[in-house]
Amino acid sequence: MTFDYDLFVIGGGSGGVRSARVAAGETGAKVGLAEQSRYGGTCVIRGCVPKKLMVFASEFSVMTEQAQAYGWPVQSGPFNWASFQTKLDAELDRLEGVYRSILAKAGVETFDMAAKLVEPHVVELADGTRKTAKHILLAVGGRPVRPDIPGAELAITSNEIFSLQQLPKSMLIIGGGYIASEFAGIMTGLGVATTQFYRGEQILRGFDDEARGLVTDGMRVRGVDLRLATNATSLRREGDGIRVVATDGTEAVYDQVMFATGRRPNTDTLGLAGLELPLSANGAVIVDDYSQTAIPSIYAVGDVTDRVNLTPVAIQEGMAFVKTVFQGVPTKPDHDLIPTAIFTQPEFGTIGLSEEAAQATCPIKVYATTFRSMRESFGGGQEKSLLKLITEAATDKVIGCHIVAPAAGEMIQLIGVAIKMGATKADFDRTMAVHPTLSEELVTMGGPVRMG
Which residues are marked as active site?
435
Report which secondary-structure segment, H or E, holds 451.
Answer: strand 450-451
Q: Which strand ranges, in their side-by-side order, compose the sheet holding 225-228?
A: 225-228, 193-198, 170-174, 256-259
Residue-by-residue DSSP string for 167-232: --SEEEEE--SHHHHHHHHHHHHTT-EEEEEESSSSSSTTS-HHHHHHHHHHHHHHT-EEEES--E
In three-state secondary structure terms, 258 is: strand
Cis previous bond, 346, omega within 30: yes
Cα gap 161→178, rounded to integer Å:
15
Q: Which of 123, 125, 147 is nearest to 136 (CA)?
A: 123
- What angle is formed at CA 178 by the lines to CA 204 and CA 157, rounded to 5 degrees? 130
Q: Which of 23, 12, 14 is nearest to 312 (CA)?
A: 14
Cα gap 301→321, rounded to integer Å:
8
In three-state secondary structure terms, 234 is: strand
176 neighbors 276 (Cβ within 8 angstroms): no
